Amino acid sequence: MEELPQIKIKHGLNMAWDALSALEPDVVCKNALVDYDPQTSTFIIKSFGYEFRADVKHRTLTCEDDRGEVFLGKFKEFLRLGLLMYLTSAKDIPATGKLIKTSDVKGGHIYVHGTHKLPLDDLAAAHGADISGFLNKARSYGAEPVEGIGDAAIRLYPLPRVPVTMVLRVEDLEEGFLPEVRVFFDSTLDFQVAPDIGWSLAMCSCLAIMSKSKQ
């Protein structure tokens, strides 16, 4: 998997902080479904079941729960910029519950081809014979179960208005079926974040479920 260019990320982070600083906190809270502490100039965002704090004055992102620190450490290049850009771009549009394939979203080719391809084969290999492990790991990141799809399905919330749904089909040696994981977005994705941010959030979701951190 290709690493994200550090210069581009740093430049993007600075632009995102600049844009966020220029917005009215009440508007951001309504659009992005987040909270704001006026005493500390800090937005509080729920992500993967944890509370992250975006301090506009000091331009820092933190998480008070040690278990959430993995997203600001190991997975930071996939969440930091996405979180900040979401705060500046989110719209007050509720999710529809209508699922769309990653390949069908704007710029969706990056999800299925080339160096940015999502590691769905690795994810399927890790959990293709372990439904309970898949569900338990997902729950540890605040996911909710989704009924009636595949052998198991969960909905993660990397950001409040950007749910990521994963559908697992377990291996069936008798029928000759290999394990498979598919990823879906809500149909409102294009209103909430840019295509590359959607990719980052989907990648972060995959890496979280494959991680060996404690459940």
Phi and psi at residue 190, in whole multiples of 5°? -60, -20
Question: What pLDDT does residue 154 have?
Answer: 96
- Predicted structure pTM score: 0.88
Question: What pLDDT does residue 4 have?
Answer: 47
On the question of pLDDT at 188 being above 60, the answer is yes
Q: Using CA atoms, how far apart are residues 71 and 80, in angstroms rounded to an integer?
A: 8
Q: Helices 6-21 and 76-89 sit at what angle, rounded to 10 degrees?
A: 30
Question: What pLDDT does residue 86 have?
Answer: 97
pLDDT tens sequence across 154-179: 999 999 999 999 999 987 766 667 88
On the question of pLDDT at 32 being above 50, the answer is yes
Q: Using CA atoms, how far apart are residues 123 and 169, in angstroms rounded to an integer?
A: 11
Q: Using CA atoms, how far apart are residues 118 and 199, in angstroms rounded to an integer?
A: 8
pLDDT tens sequence across 107-119: 766 666 666 788 8
Q: What is the DSSP string of 22-43?
A: TS-HHHHHHHHT-EEETTTTEE
Residues 6+ apart with CB under 8 A from 141: 48, 49, 156, 208, 209
Alpha-carbon 18 to chain mean position: 23
